[in-house]
Chains A and B, each alone.
Chain A
């Protein structure tokens, strides 16, 4: 059995799954229920001067028949008195001494920070998370993402906290910033023990077509909220990777954003997270989803031979490169498995209208055919194909050549003029524009493609590179 336990910047937890600071961690009741269900830790809903909330507070993005692929909220930090929260933290820790309870905090003055850090430490918290991410309501008051967007302010506050902190301090970052590594570095400079990301993204999830108001609607009006849920995972993964790869960040990362199952969690971990936080999925499906997450993670680790979480942390990072380091000589093109094709022809229209006109229809068959000469290997057809493994991208180069944009730049062989013949698309076949209006929609023929390319090459030889007109 793989060991799922972690020691995250000094915070111990039986598994890497924590509930993120949010409505599911609003009370001791919920946190105990979650621990009982199998969650390894919980970041308590942010404490500060209690607020007054509005109703409604949540907005959803549904896609076709799927509910809440995206989610947002305009709820603020805890609206419960600090004393109640502290008492409940204490009680939870008494019953679950080996689980991680992390207090999320958001206050303003240096004194307030000092006081509240001492309070939650005395209550038995295992760690502290500084909420520098909340993108609505609190930021207008100079807190939350207002701090996360100002690295110097962030650093100052972290320094204030570190003056008194006796337990590990995590800084939670906002994604509402152009470069996530800036506040991450500021957190490190301030002395933080770890970072967590991402907080929610400022958003409007939709507009009511009858009331002309954004969701969620409060008495006919609305406000921008914080976006989360499965839809934000790609953004979160990229930011986690950015922080994990940055040489000046070098802090443990708690990954947050779109984690709904074990696969999402593993993706975060492979890109550098060593604990993961979940909120929307628990709000949507309840604490019970933890069983699927832990068992999936265990199974994965067993199959891959990972003994601990740390065997896999950041495992994908070496393969995340800059675009200029990718091999330009690597060549894949699409293959259609005729046995599997069901003839929906989605690949055909996608390639025809959305890509490179490299698929044609065949007489007497609904199975389209790849025009290998025209295929640029973009992958679109295989992405739209509804049948598993029907369209695959097959390697066509012989693997002997390797050349990157960076190397070409160094060798001086990149296109430098507007009409440079070294441009990548120069030798790609495209139909004549007028053919789009013809009766016969698709005139692409491999023979013609070759002919075109040959003529193009001949013309190139005859005349030196044409300049811009």
Chain B
């Protein structure tokens, strides 16, 4: 039997998707912050892609200067609250905490970070503002972590900033692609509103940029263009039967879950294909949506999964079962998904090889493909002189984020091929500085 009852209302949905990093109360924050050793040259800072001065903000929390703590966090990372909740802290800051070496629980840095930033957001503490206008304009395509971070930084440098977003809400994956037990929509949007209010950039929603004509218009009106377009839809598997009803992409599934909550339909028996963090999310979420059986099928062994161990543990914790060394060969069914035909595999010298004659069908009524996202090659091909590498990633200067078309800059998934929110945020901040350097000379 399923561990979770299928949620039929908003409160039931929230009960099933309760936050894995719940908000700290003042006492928790005081106790936890008091444990920080204030390491010299702290490993947690080095482990943070955005380089937040973690010991500093923790000490600020401990001395009752929570606003100062929020400032320290936001100075380094505009997605301060979101990152506190969605970052894989277990392998970043908290994973680097020296307490781990003493088998002591590391400081809960992520939760402390969200504690400080949420207070600032809720009290609408004025921490930053736009810089003196410098008469220049930058267009940003995509209101995800990269686009919004770039917008904040550019505004602080005095640029006029217009953001063009295809969807109806800002923050990209943070609101559309992260598992709901990591962060709620309300929380994400509150941080976005806070940033918009502080920096005063303009976001135009439901404004996809898809044609050369639209790009030309931007090129004419703006001094530089920032591409924060992330990745595209789930890659097709190119298997027979993939078109059957209830065979869906993980990104699309999670997006629907984030937007429609308990109104999202989930099968009774779900097979998730893939071994990355998105697969873990999709599997966990299916289980929390009341699926009776959730199987995570991966073509290699457990140890070779791309997902973080704690993500797999999280999925296992809600009853997800692993099926390893199997490759899907067909989605079987009659109009609707009825199962997946797998073939067993073995890994030889790092290469996955099928075991002849080992095919079998695992029945199910839903398949979620978590097998990677496509690149937005269509849009990129409309930008003259823009180079992409053999993996479809935009080629850009490591330091400045400038692409091979000097007017275009980029950060985030479109450039790094898919990483964490914190990576996008950190890269975009640097790229905004790159734009500034480019336009200032």
Beta-carbon contact of B62 and A344 below 8 Å? no
B99-A342 in contact (CB<8A): yes
CA distance A78 to B149 in the complex (A): 65
A342 to B39, CA, bound (A): 10
Q: Are A345 and B102 in contact (CB under 8 A)?
A: no
Q: Are B34 and A344 in contact (CB under 8 A)?
A: no
Q: Are A344 and B30 in contact (CB under 8 A)?
A: no
Interface string of A380-401 (1 = CB under 8 A from B): 0000001100000000000000
Is the CB of A440 closer than 8 A to any CB of chain B? no
Encode contact with A along B31-74: 1 for CB under 8 Å, 0 otherwise.
Answer: 10010011111010000000000000000001000000000000
In angstroms, Cα B103 to Cα A342, docked, is 10
Contact A346 B102 (CB under 8 A): no
Asked whether A348 is an interface residue with its Cβ less than 8 Å from the other chain, the reply is yes
Residue of A nearest to B62 (CB): A64
Q: Are B40's CB and A346's CB within 8 A?
A: yes
Indicate if the CB atoms of B37 and A344 lie closer than 8 Å. Answer: yes
Q: Which residues of B contact A344 (CB under 8 A)?
A: 37, 39-40, 98
Chain B residues within an 8 Å CB radius of A342: 98-99, 101-102
Are B34 and A64 neighbours in the complex by a CB distance under 8 Å? yes
Give Cα A283–Cα B38 distance, bound, in whole angstroms: 33
A346→B31 CA distance, assembly (Å): 20
Bound CA–CA A64/B27 (angstroms): 11
A343 within 8 A of B: yes
A223 contacts chain B at the CB level, 8 A cutoff: no
B37 touches A346 (CB 8 A): yes
Q: Mark B280-309, 1 if CB is under 8 A from A, else 0.
A: 000000000000000000000000000000
**Structural contact, A366 and B31, CB atoms closer than 8 A:** no
Q: Are A349 and B62 in contact (CB under 8 A)?
A: no
Tell me which of A64, A65, A345 contacts B41 (CB under 8 A). A345
B103 closest partner in A (C-beta): A342
Which residues A348-365 have CB closer than 8 A to chain B?
Answer: 348-349, 361
- Least CB separation from A64: chain B residue: B34
Whether A348 lies near B102 (C-beta < 8 A) is: no
Complex-state Cα separation, A65 to B40, whole angstroms: 22
Docked CA distance A345–B37 (Å)? 10
Q: Which residues of B contact A345 (CB under 8 A)?
A: 39-41
Q: Which residues of B67-126 are within 8 A (CB) of A? A: 98-99, 101-102
- A346 and B39 contacting across the interface, CB-CB below 8 Å: yes
Bound CA–CA A342/B99 (angstroms): 7
Chain A nearest Cβ from B51, distance in angstroms: 18
Q: What is the CB-to-nearest-CB distance from B60 to chain A, in angstroms, rounded to a whole number? A: 13
Chain A nearest Cβ from B328, distance in angstroms: 45
How many residues of A are in contact with the other chain, CB < 8 A?
A: 15
A64 to B58, CA, bound (A): 12
| Shortest CB distance B295–A (Å) | 40
Q: Which residue of A lies closest to B32 (CB)?
A: A65
Chain B residues with CB under 8 Å of A366's CB are 43, 98
A348–B39 alpha-carbon span in the complex (Å): 10
Closest to B37 in A: A344
Complex CA distance for A349 and B30, rounded to whole angstroms: 25
In the complex, A343 Cα to B62 Cα: how many Å?
A: 23
B39: A residues at CB distance < 8 A: 343-346
The answer to whether A349 and B40 touch across the interface, beta carbons within 8 angstroms, is: yes
In the complex, what's the smallest C-beta–C-beta distance from B65 to chain A, in angstroms?
12
Looking across the interface, which residue of chain B has its beta carbon closest to that of A384?
B37
Interface bits A62-93 vs B (CB < 8 Å: 1, else 0):
00111000000000000000000000000000
Which of the residues B30, B34, B38, B98 comes within 8 Å of A343, measured between beta carbons?
B98
C-alpha spacing A168/B30, complex, angstroms: 49
Q: How far is the CB of A121 from chain B (nearest CB, A)?
A: 50
- In whole angstroms, what is the CA distance A451 to B127 when docked? 52
List residues of chain B with CB within 8 A of the CB of A348.
Answer: 40
Complex Cα gap A358–B158 (Å): 48
Residues of chain A from 42 to 68 with CB closer than 8 A to chain B in the complex:
64-66
Q: With CB as the reference atom, state the residue of chain B lying closest to A386.
A: B37
What is the CA–CA distance of A69 and B39 in the complex, to the nearest angstrom?
24
Contact A387 B102 (CB under 8 A): yes
List the B residue with the shortest CB-CB distance to A390.
B102
Q: What's the Cα separation between A343 and B40 when bound, in Å?
A: 9
The residue of chain B having its C-beta at the shortest distance from the C-beta of A366 within the complex is: B43
Distance in Å: Cβ of A295 to nearest Cβ of chain B: 28
Q: Which of chain A's residues has its CB closest to B31's CB? A: A65
CB of A379, distance to nearest CB on chain B (Å): 19
Q: Can you name the residue of chain B whose Cβ is closest to the Cβ of A441? A: B41
CA distance A366 to B40 in the complex (A): 10
**Complex alpha-carbon distance, A361 and B43, angstroms:** 14
Contact A65 B30 (CB under 8 A): yes
Most buried by B among A342, A345, A346: A342
Q: Are B101 and A343 in contact (CB under 8 A)?
A: yes
B37 partner residues in chain A, CB cutoff 8 A: 344, 346, 386
Do A343 and B43 touch across chains, with their CB atoms under 8 A apart? yes
Please give, as numbers and ranges, the residues of chain B lying within 8 Å of A361 by CB-CB distance. 41
> Bound complex: CA of A12 vs CA of B62, how far in Å?
48
Chain B residues closer than 8 Å to A66, beta-carbon distance:
34
- What's the least CB distance linking B32 to chain A, in Å? 9
Which residues of A from 324 to 341 have beta carbons under 8 Å from B? 341
| Cross-chain contact B30 with A346 (CB below 8 angstroms) | no
Cα distance A346–B98 when bound, in Å? 11
Bound-state CA distance A81–B98 (Å) is 59
Q: B43 near A346 (CB under 8 angstroms)?
A: no
- A368: min CB distance to chain B, Å: 9
Least CB distance from A189 to B in Å reads 49
Within 8 A of B (CB), among A383-425: 386-387
User: Within residues 6 to 35 of chain B, which ones have a CB less than 8 A from any CB in chain A?
Assistant: 30-31, 34
Q: How far is the CB of A61 from chain B (nearest CB, A)?
A: 14
Contacts of B99 in A (CB 8 A): 342
Contacts of B98 on A, CB cut-off 8 Å?
342-344, 366
A348 to B40, CA, bound (A): 8
Give B339-372 as 1s and 0s: 1 = Cβ < 8 Å from A's Cβ atoms.
0000000000000000000000000000000000
Question: Whole-angstrom distance between the alpha carbons of A235 and B31 in the complex?
Answer: 28
The residues of B that contact A387 with a CB separation of less than 8 Å are 102
B235 to chain A, nearest CB (A): 40
Within the complex, what minimum Cβ distance (angstroms) separates A441 from chain B? 10
Give chain A residues whose Cβ lies under 8 Å from the Cβ of B34: 64-66
B37, B40, B101, B102 pick with most chain A CB within 10 angstroms: B40
Q: Could you tell me the distance in whole angstroms from the C-beta of A56 to the nearest C-beta in chain B? A: 21
- Within the complex, what minimum Cβ distance (angstroms) separates B192 from chain A? 33
CB-nearest residue of chain B relative to A341?
B101
Nearest chain B CB to A101's CB is how many angstroms away?
A: 40
CA distance A119 to B43 in the complex (A): 68
A residues less than 8 Å from B62 (CB atoms): 64
- Beyond A346-B37, A346-B40, A386-B102, 8 additional contacts (C-beta under 8 Å) are A65-B30, A343-B39, A344-B37, A344-B98, A345-B39, A345-B41, A349-B40, A366-B98
Top 7 closest A-B pairs, CB basis?
A: A64-B34, A345-B40, A342-B101, A65-B34, A342-B98, A344-B39, A349-B40
Instruction: Pick 13 A–B contacts, CB within 8 A, sort by A.
Output: A66-B34, A341-B101, A342-B98, A343-B101, A344-B37, A344-B39, A344-B98, A346-B38, A346-B39, A346-B40, A366-B43, A386-B37, A387-B102
